[in-house]
Amino acid sequence: MLDKLPQSKRLAIAIATALIFFVAYDHFYLSKIRAAMEANATAAQIAQKNTAKSAPQTSAAGVSAQGANLNTANSISAPLVRVVGKEANFTIDGLGRISSYALNDAKFRNENGDAINLIDPKSHSKPLEMRFEDAALNAMAFDTPYSASSNELDVRNGEASVTLSQSLGAVSINKILTFYPNGSYKLDLKLGGNARYFISPGSRPNVEVDSYTVHGVIVGKPGEAGISDKIASFFTGSQAISESVEIFKDGDVDKNERISGANIAASSDRYYTTLFYGESLNATVTDADKISQVFIGSDGDLSLTGYIGAKDHATLSSINPALTHIIEYGWFTFIARPMFKFLNWLHGYIGNWGWSIVVLTLIIRLILFPLSYKGMLSMNKLKDLAPKMKELQEKYKDDKQKLQMHMMDLYKKNGANPMGGCLPILLQIPVFFAIYRVLLNAIELKGAEWALWIHDLSLKDPYYILPITMGILMFLQQKITPTTFTDPMQEKMMKFLPLIFTVFFVMFPAGLTLYWTVNNFCSIIQQYVINKAFARHKQAQIAEKKS
């Protein structure tokens, strides 16, 4: 049946089918896989807790395959240093690791109203955890507590430092830590003696794990500024950032990977990260129960910067602009990154993220108007030709070659382009997916209010007003949009699209649904104007022929 349709119809159906498949696959199938992975990881951790009594073993990459015994004595796992900060309150345990990290901002609360802890107690590695290549030394390190120069720190109004010390016979360790109010810290590690070791920024936070975004490890290296950074620097007036990143998703690390000359080693979920930043770092990425892990290797003194917290663009940029590259936007990063910077720029003037999204949508519609106008105009022409096209299909139904020849003649005589309605849609798809990823990954929308009933643009609309409005607008848009379907069954299938999209967007963040709702509203206005203009054009042609 499809092979009898004109190329424009087949392409339109293919685009719609691909879009539905992409969203459905992402929403339903991947979420089940993620849930299964989390369940498997939890089961593996429970099994490890029951059996982890043997001495740590060393993997082929040199990173100890086992860290702290989960049955470590309470005196070692108990808090050694308590830190009160501006962004978070956290603790350092007897093994010299950051063992808890509770964010202070009211918007970082769970459903029970408790502060979010970014350090999962069951995580395979914690920030500042050290592992030694030598198995005997590694076992000693996890049985020997650190001492601290201070047990209480206050970094709410300025920086504060503490020195953590550990003696392992011929090897001694001094971690000189300086914490800053913005959530970053500086590590100066002094090693006494000879030993190859690995230090971790910690396993990724386990707060926002979903099927939509990337979770795992991101390793960055200095490189030539990409097109996204050049575009963003053009609009914002900032310097283009030179950076290249490699992503190691959870479950994708089959063997240990070594990256030399790195400057970023980050573990992150959708909204939060724990990372190291430095110069010429030797990173090793490994796997633990399908959760990607990253370690920085050295055999001497080491200096680097760390950060734990939200992937907030302004905060990361204040530490180092290169760190903004850990905010991952997927395939269309080259469009998404400058788009977010422009949205951020708009927010600086408007002061409300919801209205900034509305204005951004209107600007995008204006930029894409020439493409949309051509596509809509072409669809109007094709609609007028639909009866003649149907006649040709009936007349030459047994001769496809003649049918194609006469169809092309029909298009040529009437100035219609069979690809005119589909090509503009194809060109707009990257923009849609780019803004989809921007609004999905922007933690700036967390706790951001818009309208009377939207109190958090990063969460779904609690009353489903936006997705239902979006579905209604999509239905109205279909009603006034010219179509060239000759098969009633295909036409009925397309009419179900508003309902399908409404179901998908019910669970999407309100910020993303707001964009799509405003976009549909603009499409209706635009289609109405073009329909009126085309009707006047047709009347003028008829009057001209009569005269």
Domain boundaries, the chain: 81-328, 349-546
pTM of the entire predicted model: 0.78
Q: Which CATH number fits domain 81-328: 2.70.98.90, 2.40.440.10, 3.30.565.10, 2.40.340.10?
A: 2.70.98.90
Alpha-carbon torsion angle 356, 360, 361, 366, nearest 10:
140
What gap in Å lies between CA 343 and CA 338, rounded to an integer?
9
Running DSSP on this structure, what letter comes out for residue 420?
T
Q: What is the pLDDT of residue 40?
A: 43
Maximum mean pLDDT: which of 337-351, 422-436, 475-489: 337-351
More confident residue, 517 or 498: 517
Question: Mind listing the pLDDT tens digit for each residue in 351-398?
Answer: 999 999 999 999 988 888 877 777 666 776 676 777 777 777 777 777
Maximum mean pLDDT: which of 187-191, 415-419, 485-489: 187-191
Q: Which residues pair with 258 in a beta bridge?
A: 284
**Amino acid occupying residue 99:** S
Distances (CA, A) of 479 to 246, 429, 440, 498, 523: 46, 22, 30, 11, 12
Q: What is the pLDDT of residue 241?
A: 52
pLDDT exceeds cutoff 60 at 22:
no
How many CB atoms neighbour CB 84 within 10 A?
A: 14
Query: Smallest Cα–Cα separation from 126: which of 147, 98, 101, 153?
Result: 98
- Rounded to 10 deg, the angle between the 423-441 and 7-24 helix axes is 10
Question: Mind listing the pLDDT tens digit for each residue in 183-203?
Answer: 999 999 999 999 999 999 999
Query: Smallest Cα–Cα separation from 125: which of 36, 56, 40?
Result: 56
Question: Mind listing the pLDDT tens digit for each residue in 233-273?
Answer: 554 444 445 568 899 999 999 889 999 999 999 999 999 99
